[in-house]
């Protein structure tokens, strides 16, 4: 066995440390060591997108990264998106628009879409489909996912408008 290495990183706002083997993938570290099983592992070769998490704020495949590569970085998983009582608008929209069936691909899609809508508040369908191309869904045929992303964008815009003070006059 190769030497284990010390690993310190931030996961969902909490500092975590562990001793890990170099070959341990980030997705397996999250699921098995930290018991954050919201991140799903589908293909393990970067094709399906189910394992997508945010690394320093950017969506990446956690199956294409060794845990040790996240040393000193911040990871955000689907567990940090919303709570059961207060879902993230993207989660709410997926529920309302039936944007999932079996739900296996959903955690990765939620992470990608929540990140995408921050930089694309009014996305076109083409832009949405381009970012969804990084995710495979075998159930929905993507139509409801598209509808859910559109609905989430609208809701986030509404929430923002309600939160910001009205212009003077």
Partner 1 sequence: MKPVDFDYAAPKSVAEALELLAAWRHEAKILAGGQSLVPLLVARSVRPRFVIDINRVAGLGYIEERDGGLAIGAMVRQADCEASPLVRRSCPLLAEAIRWVATPQVRNRGTVVGSLAQRNAISQIPTVGAAIGGRLKIVGSGNRMRTAETEAFLDASSAATLQPDELVLECWFPEQKPGTAWAFVEVQRRLAHYALVGVAVVFAIDPAGLITDARVAASGVADRPIRLGSVEQALSSRPATREVFAEASRAAVNDPLMAPREDVHATAEYRRAVTPTLVERALIQAKARLEAEIQSGRQ
Q: What angle separates helix 106-119 from helix 89-96, to the nearest 10 degrees?
A: 120
Cα 13 to Cα 4: distance, rounded to the nearest angstrom:
25
Cβ 86 to partner 1 shortest distance, Å: 26
- Where do runs of H (alpha helix) occur along 16-105? 26-28, 89-96
The rounded distance, in Å, linking the Cα atoms of 6 and 27 is 17
Nearer to partner 1, 138 or 160 (CB): 138
The verdict on 90 binding partner 1 (CB under 8 A) reads: no
Query: Is 60 an interacting residue with respect to partner 1 (CB under 8 A)?
Result: yes
HSE, CB side, 13 Å, CA atoms: give it for residue 6: 2
- In the set 10, 16, 64, 96, which binds partner 1 (CB under 8 A)? 64
Considering only residues 101 to 120 of the shown chain, the ones binding partner 1 according to CB under 8 A are 112
Per CB under 8 A, 86 contacts partner 1: no
5, 68 in Cβ contact below 8 A? yes
The yes or no reply on residue 52 touching partner 1 (CB under 8 A) is yes
Counting residues that bind partner 1 (by CB under 8 A) gives 32
Using CB under 8 A, list all residues that contact partner 1: 1-3, 5, 21-23, 25, 28, 44-46, 49, 52, 55, 58-61, 63-66, 68-69, 71, 112, 129-131, 133-134
């Amino acid at each position: 066995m190769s030497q284990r290495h010390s690993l310190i990183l931030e996961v969902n706002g909490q500092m975590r440390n562990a001793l890990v083997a170099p070959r341990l993938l980030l997705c397996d570290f999250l699921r098995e060591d930290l018991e954050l099983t919201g991140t799903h592992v589908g293909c393990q070769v970067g094709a399906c997108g189910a394992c997508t998490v945010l690394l320093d704020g950017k969506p990446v495949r956690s199956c294409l990264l060794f845990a040790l590569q996240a040393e000193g970085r911040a990871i955000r998983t689907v567990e940090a998106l919303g709570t059961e009582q207060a879902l993230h608008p993207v989660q709410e929209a997926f529920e309302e628009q039936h944007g999932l069936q079996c739900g296996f691909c959903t955690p990765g899609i939620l992470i990608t879409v929540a990140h995408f809508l921050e930089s694309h508040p009014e996305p076109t369908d083409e832009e949405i489909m381009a970012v969804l191309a990084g995710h495979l869904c075998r159930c929905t045929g993507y139509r409801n996912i598209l509808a859910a992303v559109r609905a989430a964008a609208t809701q986030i815009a509404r929430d923002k408008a309600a939160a910001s003070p009205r212009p003077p006059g």
